Amino acid sequence: MPRKTNGMFFELHPSPMKGEDGKPLLYARPAGDRKVTMREVDDTCAQYKGMVKGQMTIDFETFIDVCRRWMGEGYRIETPLGTFTPKLRLIGEHTDPAKVLGRDVELATIEFTPSKEFVSEVKRSNEGFRRAGTPVGNAQMYDEAFMQKALRRSLVGGFTTINRFKAISGLKYHSAQNYLESLCCGDNPRLRRQKIGTTLHYFLLGDSTPK
């Protein structure tokens, strides 16, 4: 079968759930950090859609300026692209509704739910999918022998850092951090965490900070 030369690149990552064979179930997501800037959108609209150059940028800035007022009052904004909804969160922990005041609430983020029409248009323009030549992300976390070997290699002088362990294990930054943090917890922790300057250091228990 000839190699596919168009379509969206995707990469595979393991999820926390496991299949019948005991291995992590995989999920797919777009590969890499591919993005298009507002300037590129603006230039394309001017070149292919006959719009005045810069008009799309002005339109988006106007949308933000107008809609921020409604959203600041708790309104949802429905557009052809989808719906924008303000999401709140409580500051701190609360159990008594009578004690929750306005100052205990803040805007967490703006949620976006795409419209069916927008999703349909994207699907109509999609030309299929092709596997990126990247390894299954963080799958090595489920190989305990590999992780133990990577940890030993990274413990130079009896300690390691997130970036050092990340480089040796091949994990992404937050996964490397989460793994090291997991070894600092429980009834029998293996590592001790200490912040030196701006960097977190993870020492084997019993070891002292290197001079």
Identify the weakest region by mean pLDDT among 83-92, 96-105, 133-142, 164-173: 133-142
- pTM to 2 decimals? 0.63
139-204, CATH topology level = Arc Repressor Mutant, subunit A (1.10.10)
- CATH superfamily label, 8-131: IHF-like DNA-binding proteins (4.10.520.10)
Helices (H) and strands (E) in the chain, counts: 6, 9
- Residues 91-116: pLDDT tens digits? 999 999 999 999 999 999 999 999 99
Beta strands 199-204 and 191-196, pairing class? antiparallel
Partner residues linked to 169 by β-bridges: none
Classify residue 144 by burial, with Cβ atoms within 10 Å: 0-12, 13-18, 19+: exposed
Cα 48 to Cα 44: distance, rounded to the nearest angstrom: 6
Q: Where are the domains of the chain?
A: 8-131, 139-204
> Does residue 180 register a pLDDT over 90?
yes
Angle in degrees, CA 156, 157, 160, rounded to 5: 50
In this prediction, residue 185 carries a pLDDT of 86
Is residue 100 a contact partner of residue 90, using CB atoms and an 8 Å limit? yes
Token code pair at residue 43:
């230039």
